Amino acid sequence: MTQHINWNETHAGHDVCDSNGEKIGSVISVRQLGRTIGGQEVEGYVQCDCCLPNFGKQLYIPFNAFRQCDGNCCYVDGVKDEVSRKGWDRKPSNL
């Protein structure tokens, strides 16, 4: 279940991990698109630099793909091997 995530506390350099805790990459920026429900930002993307084996590749992970963030990592639903099939490597047209 997805927790309330305060995207204002997520910063460049924060780790992005899969549901097993394996690092996918690091946050470059958080792009909030201004739509909220109950005071929670629900629309936006986390731009992420990938680590090996996809070093140099950037991902644009939508907010709804994250299940939680803590002081160490923001966790996406799914495992590292599934990331390449999600289409997150395509820059969203609204950015």
Average pLDDT of the residues in 47-64 = 83
Residue 14 in contact with residue 23, Cβ under 8 Å?
no
**Among 5-14, 37-46, 81-90, which stretch is predicted with the lowest mean pLDDT?**
37-46
CATH number, domain at 72? 2.30.30.240
pLDDT digits (tens, 9 = 90+) for 30-45: 988 876 555 555 688 9
Structural domain span for residue 52: 7-82
Number of domains in the chain: 1
Question: How high is the pLDDT of residue 55?
Answer: 61
Those residues whose C-beta lies under 8 Å from the C-beta of residue 65, and which sit 6 or more positions away, are 76, 77, 78, 86, 88
Whether 95 is covered by a domain: the verdict is no
Whole-model pTM above 0.85?
no
d(CA 54, CA 48): 11
Q: What percent of the chain has pLDDT over 90?
A: 35
Question: How high is the pLDDT of residue 1?
Answer: 44
